[in-house]
Amino acid sequence: MGRFTCLQEGIYRIRLQVRKGVVPFTANLYALPGDDGLLFDAGFGTRGAIAHLASALEAIEAEGEGRVREVMPSHAHWDHFSGVRPIADKRRMRVRLTEKMVPLIRTKAAFRQAYLADFKETPGGSALKKYLRKIPRRLGDEFYAAVMGIKAVTGPYTPISVGDCLSLASGRWEVLAGPGHCDVHVILWNKERGVLLGGDNVLADITTWLGPPRSDIDAYESTLKMIRDLPGLKVIYPAHGGPVEDPIRRVTDILAHRKKRMDEIRMEVFRAGRRGVSAEGIVSRYYPKINAFRKGVARGWIDTTLVYLMREGTLRRYAENGVWRYQMKDL
């Protein structure tokens, strides 16, 4: 894997990968050199990832377009912020965070608490049983955190806000809010070039992961429409996968896909009648042959859709034998 790719003058992509056994994960980071240039997203906190990242930044600075002396995550998911503190310490970089990100990623405990989804908690049982049910998940979380290099963003930081602009070698970049996939997501927009650094909001070949408690379909669709309406948008450079080179068409397709999925979940619950259906039942119908890990990841969009439909007033849920079941509200 090369150290970096020059996408346009002053815009460099650094691709990081963590591969531990059967868990490969790749992320794109974007270096924007300048007098105090910015690294947008920081990937994983493993030693190998940080060594690769530091080497790539040194090579980019050798190109002569400026320095890269600040680092900012696009949002509060571990594959975007875990490398922030290690690379900042290694290269003496300044950390930039929005105030909304701060309470979610400053400690591992805060990050864990921020993503506890009460919506998915098994209903019923004593406090002791609920506690015991959490132990395997906690052990799994700790193992995953160690393998993937998940690290909190400790230490000093400098606030940055939606609406702020950064003047770099590649031009003027505006910080835009992009919630939906994550409620504290921000993206960078270069109007003169028609270039958007879109984080996880628009991916070229796969659909963006959505899952409770910090994903929201209403907010996500609003962000997609805002992106679609950016004047002169030519290309989106995403946090995963290749460039989105026909962004208007891609965003339009994603909006249509989300509507289709919403209608499908409504129909699944409608077909279940008074008996209702569990989220696990819907997942099994969609993904009958994938392993438990992938099924758990895939369940996110189904849970988020069920949350949306309950808030909309279409569905309700009830507990049965320790499982939430969903039925149409008018039954």
| DSSP string for 48-60 | HHHHHHHHHHHHH
Give the model confidence (pLDDT) of 40-83 as tens digits: 999 999 999 999 999 999 999 999 999 999 999 999 999 999 99
pTM for the predicted model, two decimal places: 0.90
Angstrom CA distances, 250 to 217, 225, 276, stand at 17, 11, 35
Could you tell me the residue range of the domain that residue 190 belongs to?
5-109+150-245
Q: 158 and 14 share a domain?
A: yes
For residue 258, pLDDT over 70 is answered with: yes
* One domain, residues 71 and 159: yes
Q: What is the pLDDT of residues 320-330, one digit of tens each?
A: 888 899 999 98
The per-residue pLDDT for 25 is: 82
Amino acid sitting at position 176? L
Is residue 75 included in any domain, yes or no? yes
Given a cut of 80, whether residue 131 has pLDDT beyond it is no
| Residue 176 maps to a domain | yes
Average pLDDT over residues 220-233: 98
Question: Of 215, 245, 275, which marks where a domain is finished?
Answer: 245
**What is the distance between the alpha carbons of residues 151 and 81, in angstroms, rounded to a whole number?**
8
Burial of 156 (0-12, 13-18, 19+ CB in 10 A): exposed
What's the whole-number mean pLDDT along residues 4-10?
Answer: 97
Whether residue 45 is found in the same domain as residue 96: yes
Kindly state the tokens that stand for 69: 């002396």
Residue 72 lies in a domain: yes
> What CATH number has the domain bearing residue 11?
3.60.15.10
Given a cut of 60, is residue 29 above it in pLDDT? yes
DSSP 8-state assignment for residue 275: G
Q: Choose the final residue of a domain: 223, 245, 267.
A: 245
Q: Tell me what the mean pLDDT of segment 138-156 comes to.
A: 68
**Domains held by the chain: number:** 2
Judgement on whether residues 27 and 97 belong to the same structural domain of the protein: yes
